[in-house]
Amino acid sequence: MRLKRFQHSDSKFHEAFRTFLEQRRQGAQPSVDEVVAQILDAVRRRGGNAVAELTEKFDGVSISPDTLGSDAYDLQELAGECPSDVRSAIDHAAERITAYHQQNRPADGAARQSGDVSLSWRWTPVDTVGVYVPGGRASYPSTVLMNVIPAKEAGVCRVVMTSPPHKGKISPAVAYAAVRAGVDEFYPIGGAQAVGALAFGAGPLKPVVKIVGPGNAYVAAAKRIVFGLVGIDSIAGPSELTVVAGDENQADWTAADLLSQAEHDPMAQSILVTDSEAFADRVEEEIARLLPGLGEGSAAAESLETNGAIVLCERVDVPDIVDLIAPEHVELAISEGAEMATRIKHAGAIFVGPWACEALGDYLTGSNHVLPTSGAARFMSGLSTADFMKRISIQEISRTGFEGIAASAETLANCEGLPAHALSVSVRRGAL
């Protein structure tokens, strides 16, 4: 298989490469807003009845409009069917994810300013969170852990999970992960109707404050529409991986890493950045050798053909190229990877060294795998405990502190044409 190649030394590299990146990003979110708006309106008006009808229509699953559930989808019973080796792996992952998110929980603090004005801040959790877990191409117990555990570590008291049955079934692994992570409520619903139920409430499902978790174009559109009524994590696009490697690397390892992202979705993107054309050739040969082993249903071949690429450049230019991509994940599988990581500004997560394959970050390192895509790493970060909390600022001002800042505040209020603002200061100044 031949991937698209870009030579950094070409005079039109930046124009051509930007076009390549933007074409995928513009096509990554199909326009389904009109259909989704109708679904959301039905859920808002008719609650559980609409959710039950839409679940039957789109997923072929019969649920009660009064409970939004079914005896066939008891979370505890399904969790008991999870194989022991999978349970052990989920436990291992949960322990590491919990430890990491405990440590990055934001702390309260204070900063005293001159003039006897005391400023402080306090972090408090949101009350309720809805976690959407996809039920399509595969089961995703890791998605459950990565979204539920940070919420619980933040102190969220009610975590609601929705996940649509796939071919009439809920994965026992997903069920066990939900029980292990501490999900408080579960509803076997999906699509835009699940987002609507979480945002507006439906039947026994009371509205949540924030909705997180990935989904298809309908789920993404629904989250975008309800944003403002509730908070959301982000509008996630297809997965992305940039691998920086060269002659010192094993071509089959690099090929496997590129395939690991490509198999997610035909729109996923895998890019190799290398200073060796010979190594690029070997990687392409290994991709061709490994592809048949992924099975006929794999999305990897289409993903690589449509969105895969190789960038040939000098190593000194690698950080600039990575920043141009701003990828969800980047592997620096080269000897100078640790130093190079300090010079990269835009990436969701960086994996340093040839042993640091991105797949480990999906499951076991402990860092969150919910990361910005489609260039959003230029302005946002991956999911963390802080995403389930909000900061309250506290301002304590004494008479002395008031005296030091009141005149300037009154002047600015008058400058902005807000006389009542100025009055609330001046009436106090009269009491000095």
Give the CA-trace dihedral at 347, 349, 353, 354, to 10 degrees: -100
pLDDT of residue 379: 96
Answer yes or no: is 384 within a domain. no
Q: Is 14 exposed, middle or buried (0-12, 13-18, 19+ CB in 10 A)?
A: middle
Question: E-strand spans in 360-431?
Answer: 389-397
pLDDT of residue 274: 98
**Whole-angstrom Cα distance, residue 81 to residue 431?**
72
pLDDT of residue 137: 61
**Whole-angstrom Cα distance, residue 177 to residue 143?**
9
Q: Which residues are catalytic?
A: 328-329
pLDDT of residue 87: 98
Range of 423's domain?
Answer: 399-429
Q: Are residues 212 and 279 in the same domain?
A: no
Q: Are residues 274 and 407 in the same domain?
A: no
Answer yes or no: is 111 within a domain. no
The token pair at 378 is 């230029």
**Whole-angstrom Cα distance, residue 101 to residue 99?**
6
Q: Are residues 19 and 56 in the same domain?
A: no
Between strands 4-7 and 309-312, the pairing is parallel
- 215 in helix, strand or coil? coil
Q: Are residues 138 and 193 in the same domain?
A: yes
CATH number of 217's domain? 3.40.50.1980
pLDDT of residue 28: 43
Q: Are residues 241 and 228 in the same domain?
A: no
The token pair at 216 is 């298809």
Strand arrangement of the beta sheet that strand 309-312 belongs to: 4-7, 309-312, 269-274, 240-244, 329-332, 349-352
Q: Are residues 161 and 247 in the same domain?
A: no
Q: How is the chain split among helix, strand and coil, in percent rounded to 5?
A: 50, 15, 35
Q: Are residues 51 and 38 in the same domain?
A: yes
Query: How many angstroms separate the Cα of 21 from the Cα of each of 25, 243, 369, 376, 379?
Result: 6, 16, 22, 13, 17
Q: Are residues 196 and 245 in the same domain?
A: no
- 110 in helix, strand or coil? strand
- How many structural domains is the chain composed of? 3
- 274 in helix, strand or coil? strand
Q: Are 309 and 277 in contact (CB under 8 A)?
A: no
Mean pLDDT in each 10-residue stretch from start to end of the chain (432 residues)?
93 96 69 92 98 95 94 93 98 98 95 82 98 83 98 98 91 97 97 98 97 93 97 91 97 98 93 98 97 90 96 97 98 97 98 97 96 95 97 94 95 98 96 87
Answer yes or no: is 86 within a domain. yes
Answer yes or no: is 76 within a domain. yes
pLDDT of residue 31: 72
| Prediction pTM value | 0.93
Q: Are 276 and 243 in contact (CB under 8 A)?
A: no
Q: Are residues 216 and 271 in the same domain?
A: no
